Structure 1
Amino acid sequence: MEKLMKKLLSFYYEQSLIDVTFKVSNPTAVVPAHRLILAAASPYFENLFNGEQGNNPVIEINDIDSDIFERLIIFCYTGEALITVNNVGAWLKAALILQLDDAINRCVDYIITHINEYTLQAANVLERETKCERLKQKIIEYVIKNFMEVSRCVEFLSFDVEKLQRILESDNLNITLEEDAYDAIKRWVNYDVPARQEQLPILIPCLRLTQIDADFLWTHIHPLPGCELLTLRTITWIRESAARTRINMRFTEARATCEKTFLAVCSLGKNTQLLQYNKAGDKWEENASLEIDYTDYEASLKDDNLIFIGGWKSGATSNIVRSWNIRNKTWQNLSAMNQARDSHCAVELDGKIYAIGGLEGEKVLSSVERYTLYAGWEPVSSLIVGRYSARAVTLNNKIYIVGGKNTAGHLKLVECYNPDSNTWTSCAAMTECYILPNVKVYNGHIYVLHKYYANSGQIVERYDPQRNTWSKICCLDADWARIEGTWLDNKLYCFGPPTSDDISSVSVYDEDNDRWVKKCSLPNVNGYRRFIVPVTLVLMK
């Protein structure tokens, strides 16, 4: 075969046994060839030669550049293509006209492997011009693999809904949290709300909604036009296992890239360990030993990093802020806070981390500051009443700080921060005072949880932000589970279960039998902070 092809190529260069000549414009040129070779290489030429002008000794070609046409004719003989960033667009357009599949594939592969030089924007423009399905598929595969980076680029905003839908449907979408895909949809829609808002019922079902926290669904997805019923069905599916067979959900499993597990920052005497939960083996394993020689800090999870904020060190309050990269196991110093503080609250809202109140020595703080990567720490409006050992949660894009203590004693006071107006307002006070209360957001309400005794229920305080009222409710196992539990893989986990005084124990809730099942406990610890992270961030031993 190799010998035969060499002989055919020599016929071409010597113009021997030529039986067709193409007259190509732009610029004018004549290109000789052999009908049999071209007909075997492309259905375009096969149909051309079997058509009305097939027997003409000279055939005119007017819609392809003469240099590119001649190169493609040689490609039919040799399979070799001299493609560059500058000519690949013209190559692809001509190859599509001539139906040369191998040349099309060669062009598309070149574009993707040289995407940084050619640019994703140019590739998308070329795909829209040529309607090349293979190029479209390769662009989609590239975006799926590099979604976090691409979704923040301007070019992402020009994607059509069909392309975006195919990307979001992929089980291999490279995201760490399903909420990342939601954020991308939000950016895409906000670019042209009047035209794109109606696409939400098409795009939102592409998410793995059952992997998203029910409160997030209620706060962010339910208000979207056309997504109300879908949200209610998903929340029911998540919270009522018995109803799952009756509810048709498009996706119920996590993406291949989004399996999650628990991480716990545990203080073991003078040592601090980062432990991870091995679900398959039901055991806690050491992920890393953290060099933390201070206490009373706050910790927050941001992307791939655990951020440790402030604290008490060497007999003094600190303003130090350090970041531990879970993936690389490395420390990085971040901008220090303007105010040293310990026993404070830290909470994330809309990508920004807030440090609220706390102590500086014996001084009770009312100051609040906010961190962003590009601006560092900047002060925002102060609390109305300074406090420490409080708890803060987010609800409806606002921050609520609950309870705590100051020089006047234990507090039942509650305040709400609105980032749009940069103001704190007083809310209705709780019926009781609490230090370091156990506070949860659930179904659009804030719950302050008391100690729970199995089989007897317990009074819990619930805040309604619409009415600005607190009420006491009685919770039995099923109610308590849904309020207190942390969702992971559609199961409710509880740290410090209601059946035990051991705050380090872990249980999973059996919804069918309305009971807690004990799981492997954390080691005996003085205190811990837990986070849910993608399994891809950690490596099980």
Structure 2
Amino acid sequence: MAEGPRGLPLRSPGSVAEGLRQAGRGDGRALLIQGAQQQRRLPLRAPLTPSRSPAQLSCRGCCTGTPLFPRAPSFHSTDYTYIYNDLSHPVDFLQAFRTFYQDGLFTDITLQCASDVIFLCHKAVLAACSNYFKAMFTADMKEKSKNQIKLPEVSHTILESLVNYAYTSQIQITEKNVQSLLQAADLLQFVSVKKACEQFLVRHVDTVNCIGMHSFAEYHLCSELEKESRRILLSRFEEVWRQEEFLDISYEKLLFILSRENLNVWKEEAAIEPVVKWIAYDVEKRIECIFDLLNGLKIDLNEIYLRSALSLRKKHQLNENKIRSLIYSALNTNPKYISKRPTAAMYVIGGYYWHPLPEVHVWDPLTNAWIQGTDMPDYTRESYGVTSLGPNIYVTGGYRTDNIEALDIVWIYNSETDQWTEGCPMLNARYYHCAITLGGCVYALGDVPTFYSKPLFFLIYFIANL
């Protein structure tokens, strides 16, 4: 057999390929290399197999001259770090768990509602949305080792809504389900759902339901709802006490209302009448409360005379007219007006006098005097819309004085704190429009894009955040 360079024998192409097959180093393919004096066929790089030893791999790399793996790129500096943030990952992650829930995959806990309907869920998902379930699955509780949890306080539809929220981040709140949904969210500690329900109720508080809303808010520790219902209750008390639910108000709450310094009543008759009406509704149980309630009003009353007059009459003989007559008979000759501070006030926002005015002026009816509030932060605009909702005053749109640029900005003035905050911008920039409130929403109507175009009358609105 002929010899090649370095004394290696020359082999035919067929024998080389056959040898590689036998050695398990390739699939028989060969690479033709042109030399100065001879030709050699060497095997192409074969795919890695578990049967090859490190020595064989090293030998193959030397024989072919081809590196086993690509060489790592070099950097001038080793301090550089790239952090990749996949913005779609949270959505995809939630979608995956939603699919697992729908298909019943990897579920490890069963929830059973009041009607015995069961929901197959994942502990990790429930614990991520609810501190109630997090504590249940991590603390030393008997439910920790159970595969099924009974929730007899929660209805089928409400539990289904909460479970769907955990897997979709969406929940439907209506006037029919908001109360039950808030109660369940409070029980199971779905904090975000409870907050959303509270904001829904805040937008629907009025003189008809503010008493019940206030009690509901106190029980479930809803601070915003309690504040708004109390504001309406005190500022519009003369409308509130004429509602049917006023007759069922507790003694403690009625005394709380009548004792407030900011109760909005102007004459003593306006405060005495609700006391008469409330007592007459259940004389047997409520007649003894009359003295504390009248003292809460701080009226000039002859209490000795009233006690004597009541003692001479049997409770079942007392009706609304007789109670009213006894109270007015017990008033001193020169009764004083009730020392309550009216909560109504008039606000004048901005204006124009050779240039836009940012001032806020407030008329106090108690002192019959004007006081000045905090100026608007943005004082270069005019022709905006102004409306009020709750304790807030909303200043919407307008245009810049220097270039007549229509604006979509909204500024909110809190009359209780005398502070301005920037609100959510409107969908469209506008000026010379009208702003009103209705049903907990702020509406902007009308638009004048330029001085030379016709006004466009269309409606936009946004939910006010009280």
Q: TM-score, normalised by structure 2?
A: 0.41
Q: Higher helix proportion, which one? A: 2
Q: Which entry has the higher C-alpha Rg, 1 or 2?
A: 2
Q: TM-score, normalised by structure 1?
A: 0.36
